[in-house]
Amino acid sequence: MVFLEILSYVSAKDIWMIHIMKHEPITLGDKLASVEHKKPRFNFGAWLRNTVYTLLNFSLLTAISALPLWWFLMRPDMDRNIMLVLLAALIALWLFVYRQRRATKSRKKATHPTTHSLLTNDRQGFMRDLRLDAKTVIVDGSNIYHFGRDNGLDAQPLGMIVHQLRTEGYRIVCFFDANIFHRLNEHGAFHSDQQHSLAMLDDIFGLRRDEIYVVPKGVQADKYILDSLKHLPISFAVTNDQFRDYAKKYPTVMKDNQWRKGVMISNGEIKLQQHQFQNPIRLN
């Protein structure tokens, strides 16, 4: 037994060292960091546009500086008003070019975020540490909650599914839309004067703090769910939403029918499509 334990420890250590030597990501944070710091492709159009703006900016500044001196030394007989009009026109053109250049730089910064949204908006800070070699279930919490409501079961199906998958060894990540607290309030899950907190979701759905991800206001959880599936190689989603609007953007995620498991109720049991629970989830 001791020999087997030592062998197991050495094997695990060797695997870890191999990953380090190959610089392969171990966690989701490692993987997203490697994506963020990947060198962008050379964009000839952007380079050309930036070069033209730089040359125009330099040329106009030179002309604005030289025009009064040229007028004073070479053409003192020229009407002063004409010179002022030319100077004003050059300054106006320079301001236009300067603003265009600033706008181009702003767009470039906006299209190259430094941190992936999955990590930026993770209030609990657990997504970064998710291991890529762990089997993970991405739960569409708002969708499954509404499924429970439609079947007169409220939060029960979501809680029971999460509990069963957790006992089967899956790591749970449950995404909710930002309006989940308002929906629960409307349905009488808690008093309207209670302050919104993750503890409510813990109690209502039987979730753990490091399993809950509430997305920011104004965005849907769909993108976060699909991004998680894209970057976590051993994962599937529990949802009745088929995300058809995202098929072109996430072709590798949605390439077969195994990426999502729909929820249904049959013969008094909660079941998942394309997944057989180790223990049946029976409704009382």
Radius of gyration of the chain from Cα atoms? Answer: 29
Q: Does residue 133 sit in the same domain as residue 62?
A: no
Residue 57's pLDDT is what?
A: 80
Is 38 contained in some domain? Answer: no
- Specify the pairing of strand 171-176 against strand 136-140: parallel
Residue 126 has pLDDT above 70, yes or no: yes
- The residue-averaged pLDDT of 243-249 equals 93
> Poorest-confidence range of 64-68, 95-99, 116-120, 209-213?
64-68
Is 160 contained in some domain? Answer: yes
Domain boundary among 93, 110, 127: 110
Is 68 contained in some domain? Answer: yes
- The residue-averaged pLDDT of 89-108 equals 76
Q: Does residue 96 sit in the same domain as residue 51?
A: yes
- The residue-averaged pLDDT of 255-268 equals 94
Distance, in Å, from the CA atom of 262 to the CA atom of 240, rounded to the nearest integer, reads: 5
Most confidently predicted of 61-65, 78-82, 86-90, 280-284: 280-284
CB 51 within 8 A of CB 25: no
- Specify the pairing of strand 235-238 against strand 281-282: unpaired
Is 14 contained in some domain? Answer: no
Residue 154 has pLDDT above 90, yes or no: yes
C-alpha distances out from residue 187 to 114, 153, 162, 223, 239, Å? 39, 12, 21, 26, 21
Domain holding 217, by residue range, is: 117-282
Is 78 contained in some domain? Answer: yes
Tens digits of per-residue pLDDT, 79-90? Answer: 677 777 777 888
CATH number (domain holding residue 252): 3.40.50.11980
Is 204 contained in some domain? Answer: yes
Q: pLDDT band for 71, please (50, 70, 90 cuts).
A: low
The one-character DSSP state at 27 is B
Q: Does residue 274 sit in the same domain as residue 203?
A: yes
Is 215 contained in some domain? Answer: yes
Q: Does residue 53 sit in the same domain as residue 159?
A: no
- The residue-averaged pLDDT of 134-154 equals 97
Q: pLDDT band for 10, please (50, 70, 90 cuts).
A: very low
Residue 146's pLDDT is what?
A: 97
Count: domains in the chain:
2
Is 11 contained in some domain? Answer: no
Q: Does residue 181 sit in the same domain as residue 131?
A: yes
First to last CA, the chain: 45
Higher-confidence position of 31 and 40: 31
Which pairs count as long-range contacts for 187-196, CB under 8 Å and 24+ apart, including other chains?
187/149, 187/154, 189/154, 189/155
Domain boundary among 67, 95, 110: 110
Higher-confidence position of 52 and 117: 117
Domain boundary among 110, 135, 153: 110
Q: pLDDT band for 117, please (50, 70, 90 cuts).
A: very high
> Poorest-confidence range of 40-49, 93-102, 193-202, 237-246?
40-49
Q: Does residue 131 sit in the same domain as residue 91?
A: no
The region that residue 72 occupies, defined by phi over 0 for left and psi between -120 and 50 for alpha, beta otherwise, is: alpha
Q: Does residue 211 sit in the same domain as residue 253?
A: yes
Q: Does residue 94 sit in the same domain as residue 198?
A: no
C-alpha distances out from residue 252 to 77, 225, 226, 249, 258, Å? 73, 14, 10, 9, 12
Share of the chain above pLDDT 70, in %: 82
Tens digits of per-residue pLDDT, 264-273? Answer: 999 999 999 9
Tens digits of per-residue pLDDT, 164-191? Answer: 999 999 999 999 999 999 999 998 888 8
- Biggest distance spanned by C-alpha atoms of the chain: 105
Distance, in Å, from the CA atom of 22 to the CA atom of 231, rounded to the nearest integer, reads: 19
Q: Does residue 99 sit in the same domain as residue 61?
A: yes
Distance, in Å, from the CA atom of 111 to the CA atom of 85, rounded to the nearest integer, reads: 39
Q: Does residue 59 sit in the same domain as residue 128?
A: no
Q: Does residue 170 sit in the same domain as residue 225?
A: yes
- Mean pLDDT (the chain, rounded): 84
Q: Does residue 83 sit in the same domain as residue 145?
A: no
> Poorest-confidence range of 20-29, 119-128, 254-263?
20-29
